[in-house]
Amino acid sequence: MKKIPDILSALALVTGAMLLPAVPAVADGHSDLSCGLNTGKAATGEPIKVGGINGNAPPGDFSGGTDAAAAYFDCVNANGGINGRPIQYIVENDQWNPELAGQVGTKLVKDEGVVALVGNGSVVSMAVNAKLYADEGVMAMASACAISDCYENANIVSTNQGPLPSGIGALKFAIEELGSKHAACIGFNIPNNGGWACDWMNKYMESKGLQGSSILMDPTAVDLNSIYLQALAEGVDTILLMLPAGPAIGLLKVAEEQGGRDQFKWVSPTPIYEPGVGNVLGDYWSGHLYVNIELAQYDSDGPDNKNWIAVTKKYGKDGDRLDTFSQSGFISAKFFTDALLKLDPAKIDRASVSEAIKQIVNVESDLLCGPYYVGDADRHMPNHAGRMVLYKDGGFETVRDCYDIDTSYLDPIRAQEKALGVTQ
């Protein structure tokens, strides 16, 4: 009987969080705004087609990356474009539907002939379209990826860390600072998402001589009460919320209803980190929820962060989410734009753009803990160092600044970084 109210409350909470005003307080106008050539004149040349795919449907919204990329490209187009050529950004929603993901991927890559994809965020699209991207020689600079395919393919590079490094980062903190001994990784029963990430969580715990348990749920029938009871039955001391923001907040509400805050140490990867979450979580969780963030704090003073806020404020749509994935979409679009500006505008095509993206090495941003790079490799994970914040008084307080993780999953990534001369 509790199942339906739980689902409804989770959805209501997410909807509420999305509707809340979300522009961080540091935005002080447009003085921080900087896009592309900064000419102040609109680009009028032949458009360059760029695609983006997000997954925005129950049980999660991953549109932050494409929203921010769209805002940045609008800003670039209003400021001279790519040496006079505007970017025509075409965004499709796969609605968490693999069949639709395949259709919209084919539409963008084959029918529209996009030169690249930027800002992608989805749980299904990359799995369905990875082969298409490789076959068609198109690169995807993703921003809100949550599945293994985003990090294990030559033609996909994601600016966000994904659940694996962010989750392990959260666990590392929990072990070192909170004394966690046995953690439950709660995720969706999707092999390349929750299954993949939680499997590596358990390996990480084992590597530390500790215990990890996976509690995976059906994404089509989210029963948060039973998941919470399962965690209780497992006898764990730590809960890792390996979930999109909606279900993660829903589970926290279930725990609140049952007075479960002090029974566990609560840690989460980045999805739950956004300005409006304080209005949903309230005081109950203040000082008790630790979140690993994949990019900088949304209210930090770095130039790129301030630019992200200024661009989103001026060019974004009402209701655009200002979360980590939005930051990630913004910085992906910026790196992409910077790479294109080095090309002869008359010779911009898919091949030259793919090559330009692969040439991105050792670029830096205050949004990231380490340098960003792509290179020519069979897999990419340029961002694997994050920060830890504590939910407090409706906001977040940094409790550990940039730190990297130690997992054998990164062995091939570290070898790449060594070859490219990148030091994280």
Partner 1 sequence: MARRISGKNFITLAVVLMVIWLLPLLLSSLWVKVVTSAVIFSLAATGVSILFAQLGLINLSQVALIGVGGWVLLRLNYATGLPFTVSLLAGGIVAAIIGAVFALPAVRMRGLYLALVTLMAAGALQILFNAFQFPNGGEGFWGVAQQSAGDVRRPFLAQTDGAYLRYVMLVVAICFTIVGMHRFAAPGRAWAMIRQSEANAMAAGVNVTFYKTWAFALSGFLAGISGGLLAGALQQLDARTFVAGDSILLFALSIVGGAYHWLGAIIAGLLFKLLPALFNDFGISADLTLVIFGIALLHAIITAPKGISGQILAGISSLAARRRVSRD
Q: Which residues bind partner 1 (CB under 8 A)?
A: 95-100, 102-104, 106-107, 109-111, 124, 127-128, 130-131, 147-149, 152-153, 189-192, 195-196, 198-199, 218-221
Q: Quick check: helix, strand or coil at residue 366?
A: coil
Q: Helices (DSSP H) in 235-268: which residue ranges? A: 245-257
Q: Quick check: helix, strand or coil at residue 390?
A: strand
Q: How far is the CB of 191 from partner 1 (least distance, A)?
A: 5
Give me the DSSP letters along 128-142. HHHHHHHHHT-EEEE
Report the sign of the C-alpha dihedral through residues 382, 384, 390, 391, in that order: positive
Nearer to partner 1, 109 or 255 (CB): 109
Nearer to partner 1, 102 or 260 (CB): 102
Nearer to partner 1, 190 or 255 (CB): 190
Which residues are 191's β-sheet partners?
none
Q: How far is the CB of 181 from partner 1 (least distance, A)?
A: 23
Centroid of chain to Cα 141: 12
Q: How far is the CB of 90 from partner 1 (least distance, A)?
A: 11
In angstroms, the Cα distances linking 409 to 203, 290, 362, 379, 381 are 10, 23, 22, 12, 10
Closest CA to 56 of 72, 67, 48: 67
Closest CA to 230 of 217, 212, 247: 217
In angstroms, the Cα distances linking 207 to 108, 133, 172, 204, 407 are 43, 35, 11, 5, 9
Q: How far is the CB of 351 from partner 1 (least distance, A)?
A: 19
What is the greatest pairwise CA distance in the chain?
Answer: 63
Nearer to partner 1, 189 or 211 (CB): 189
Nearer to partner 1, 189 or 225 (CB): 189
Q: Please state, in angstroms and rounded to a whole number, the distance separating the CA atoms of residues 8 and 5.
A: 5
Q: Please state, in angstroms and rounded to a whole number, the distance separating the CA atoms of residues 228 and 212.
A: 16
Nearer to partner 1, 190 or 205 (CB): 190
Q: How far is the CB of 113 from partner 1 (least distance, A)?
A: 10
Q: Please state, in angstroms and rounded to a whole number, the distance separating the CA atoms of residues 201 and 197.
A: 6
Nearer to partner 1, 132 or 341 (CB): 132
Q: Specify burial of residue 54 (Cβ count, 10 A radius: 0-12, 13-18, 19+).
A: buried
Nearer to partner 1, 153 or 160 (CB): 153
Nearer to partner 1, 81 or 187 (CB): 187
